[in-house]
Chain A
């Protein structure tokens, strides 16, 4: 593993009324892409604003490329770019002026890449910020961040307000960034986006990091989803070891399997299974399971046909 891009140690933030972040220990390696998930109010934006030095931690510390986020913020900022979920820009400047300003302030801009991004995102820079729609403002801060080719991209719901076509353009740009070895820290509610872009995922709940790992690790720990269609009578699967949440719908049985699938396969083979589907849980299912709001199996008595 290479150098460390982001490291936090016991990072905590308490507001007057609430504890927004508790004792966060996080490490993101250089070149890695990490998704940062959690329900509304979990503390994702708080974490990111702490990393950027916009707010002060109550406890703990954070580093970016070994630079302290509070005391060496300016040095750290030379190597990163940030995209917020809400593009609050100076209303009286035009798009082109904003890009010029933000580029000059950052100190380095890849001009050809900037022009390419403007075309890719189909962005008209001649308007005043006041006159842009929300999505167009979002494009503007995305371009401003990407055009500097930063070593680290910190993104907080970066695609809010973008249409599906632009979402595609965003993913394309992210893949480019990853190929160039740029590190990505992405907080998002669009799970397919995180699934497509990130190697590792952290899940935050009420200010606490409840899970962190690669997607395959997390999948491994959770159940496999199996759906079987039978020719004749439907066997009772609820007593098979490792099988949970059995749902029967006519001749179709849906269940989850934890650990080895062998006992289940034996029962299925013996009872004339006609069709068998199995798949790993999607990030959405993992996510819902973690939030404790997963769709509980309905307590419907199996109907006899």
Chain B
């Protein structure tokens, strides 16, 4: 399309181009995930007996049901693929939608790029509508690529999903992405900065996931799935027993959010937020006397947000552990204890052991965000202000590392204590020290990720963000599918979570944990030395 033909649609086209590029990338990831799950399952479980055995082991495990949704017909390739892909990709898709929407709406606006565009032809309201159309193009790209791969895989005689079912399946896989694109769009209007918008959206996603998790952990809470967007996605039940009617609440939810986002965009100033944002503040200078104090001050609001999320989530897990654990003890023990989804042990401990992977993911996400923030401080030029004064490079870096590490340890402590509080309220009988140990057990992978991040900061600063989030996403995916479809142990080892013991189901391995921390610190040291000797680099 010639660039000058519709000058009034420039925002739509720019957003569409960026969103589609991202949609293509993640469409591949979705496709590869679906394909590798289907083909991996078919290759690992060749006979029906093996598949039936898997179904009796995993199909009745309440912890796994809670973590990624209930398993249906996993004695078939199609059923297993639908279950596992949906459980994982609906979360990944939601995160994608949130980040894409906040980046392309609020991020572009913060960077001042909209000012130039809006000064031309169009109003803020139309600008927002155009950007949403662009995001829609991105979501459509994601769906198309996912559908193409799913159809191709479905044609294989081993998998056997017909074209219509495959397209519906792909639609279900991107449903959460679409809903959270809309959530991100609304949050972009409410918040004053991209980060704040992402935080609001993240809170909505966390709540939605938590409700879905509780609803699937025990039949007592089953009704909760109807108040969670992720619960609706699950109720679409693609491939096994499609229920397209559930698309109605999804479409309604999306439409309401989109309409509110567009109308709010017309009601506020460019660059301003709908929710009040304080532009003046009392000076609080207690911490501001050096790089360490500054690092604490800068990290405090985000770390506090993560800590609350982790605490609430752990409390919730503890609270439902007893009810969920009862379902586990009745199922047979698994041979697949090689992954974190292996159902080791029984009762509340087993439930918490499996679901703590999610808490570990949150702590690691927080660590990743801390490293990314350090890089942003360099890229944005804020760091220059310290380094042109009598501040050594390492004291800035150590300040950042100390704050991030302490934040991880505190998060582990909070996870342990909160899960115990929730669990004790139900008299489940897991000991406090056991849960405290399980809390600290999730810290080492996060420290390892910190090390990976700082190593990258030293030798390839522009790749910090993509590396830490990439390693994290990779680890999470590998851990969720690796054990079951029998991935090569080298691949499994590449996950930062793979060496982590399934505490509190089993006792933490402190030697392994010590090694993880040592490797992380060694990487951080090498990265620090490299950072000391290189040029500072802008964005």
Query: Chain A residues in contact with chain B, CB under 8 A?
Result: 49, 52-56, 74-75, 77-78, 80-82, 84, 86, 88-94, 96-97, 100-102, 104-107, 125-128, 130-131, 141, 144
CB neighbours (8 Å) of A101 from chain B are 285, 288-289, 294
Partner of B390, one of A55, A77, A86, A90: A77
Bound complex: CA of A298 vs CA of B392, how far in Å?
Answer: 57
Q: Which residue of chain A has the shortest Cβ distance to B533 in the bound complex?
A: A56
The answer to whether B390 and A78 touch across the interface, beta carbons within 8 angstroms, is: yes
The smallest beta-carbon distance between A142 and chain B, in angstroms, is 13
- Considering the complex, give the chain A residue whose CB is closest to the CB of B291: A105
Report B's interface with A, CB cutoff 8 A.
Answer: 192-193, 278-281, 283-285, 288-291, 294, 297-298, 301, 377, 380-382, 384-392, 533-536
Kindly state the separation between the CA atoms of A49 and B536 in the bound complex, as whole angstroms.
9
Given A74-B391, A128-B279, decide whether A90 and B298 contact each other with a Cβ distance below 8 A: yes
Partner among A56, A90, A91, A141 whose Cβ is within 8 Å of the Cβ of B535: A56
B279 touches A97 (CB 8 A): no
- Complex alpha-carbon distance, A127 and B380, angstroms: 20
Give chain A residues whose Cβ lies under 8 Å from the Cβ of B192: 130
Chain A interface helix/strand/loop/mixed: mixed
Q: A52-B388, A94-B280, A100-B285 are in contact. List 17 more A-B contacts (CB 8 A).
A: A49-B536, A55-B535, A56-B533, A56-B535, A74-B391, A77-B388, A93-B288, A100-B283, A101-B288, A101-B289, A104-B290, A105-B289, A105-B290, A105-B291, A105-B386, A105-B390, A126-B281
A127 touches B280 (CB 8 A): yes
Q: Are B382 and A90 in contact (CB under 8 A)?
A: yes
Distance A49 CA – B279 CA, assembled complex (angstroms):
32
Q: How far is the CA of A80 from the CA of B389 in the complex (A)?
A: 8
In the complex, chain B residues whose CB is within 8 Å of the CB of A104: 288-290
Q: How far is the CB of B388 from chain A (nearest CB, A)?
A: 4
Q: Please give, as numbers and ranges, the residues of chain B lying within 8 Å of A144 by CB-CB distance.
A: 385
Most interface-central of A78, A81, A100, A101 (chain B CB within 10 A): A101
A290 to chain B minimum Cβ distance, whole angstroms, is 29
Bound state CA distance, A101 and B535, in angstroms? 24
Q: From residue A92, how far is it (CB to closest CB) to chain B in Å?
A: 7
A106 touches which of B288, B380, B389 (Cβ 8 Å): B389
Cβ-neighbour of B389 out of A56, A77, A84 (below 8 A): A77
Q: B281 touching A100 by the CB < 8 A rule? A: no
Q: Taking CB as reference atom, which chain A residue is nearest B379? A: A88
How far is A144 from B380 in the complex, measured between Cα atoms in Å?
A: 19
Knowing A54-B536, A97-B288, A107-B390, the reply to whether A102 touches B280 (Cβ < 8 A) is: no
CB < 8 Å: which of B280, B284, B288, B390 contacts A126?
B280
Which residues of B have CB within 8 Å of A56? 533-535
Bound complex: CA of A49 vs CA of B535, how far in Å?
A: 9
- Contact yes or no, A88 B391, CB < 8 A: no
Residues of B within 8 A of A105 (CB): 289-291, 386, 389-391
Interchain CB contact under 8 A, A82 and B388: yes
Query: Are B381 and A106 within 8 A (Cβ)?
Result: no
* Residue among B281, B301, B388, B534 facing the most chain A CB atoms (10 A cut-off): B388
Q: Given that A54-B388, A56-B534, A105-B290 are contacting pairs, would A96 and B283 also be in contact in the complex, using a CB cutoff of 8 Å?
A: yes
User: Complex: how many Å from CA A74 to CA B392?
Assistant: 7
A55 proximity list for chain B (CB < 8 A): 535-536
Contact A131 B381 (CB under 8 A): no
Inside 8 A of A125's CB, which chain B residues have their CB? Answer: 283
Q: How far is the CB of B33 from chain A (nearest CB, A)?
A: 37
Q: What is the bound-complex CA distance between A101 and B390, given in angstroms?
A: 12
Pairwise interchain contact B385-A89, C-beta atoms closer than 8 A: yes
Q: Which residue on B lies nearest to A52, using beta carbons?
A: B388
B388 touches A127 (CB 8 A): no
Hey, which chain A residues are within 8 Å of B294, CB to CB? 90, 101
Can you list 19 A-B pairs with a CB-CB distance of less than 8 A? A53-B387, A54-B384, A54-B536, A74-B391, A77-B388, A77-B389, A82-B388, A90-B377, A92-B298, A94-B280, A94-B281, A101-B285, A102-B389, A105-B291, A105-B390, A106-B389, A128-B279, A130-B192, A130-B193
Contact (A106, B390) CB under 8 Å given A88-B382, A101-B289: yes
By beta carbon, the residue of chain B nearest A74 is B390
For A75, the chain B residues whose CB sits under 8 A away are 390
Kindly report which residue of chain B lies nearest to residue A50, judged by CB atoms.
B535
Chain B residues within 8 Å of A97, by CB: 283-285, 288
Closest to B294 in A: A101
Which chain B residue shows the least CB distance to A105? B389
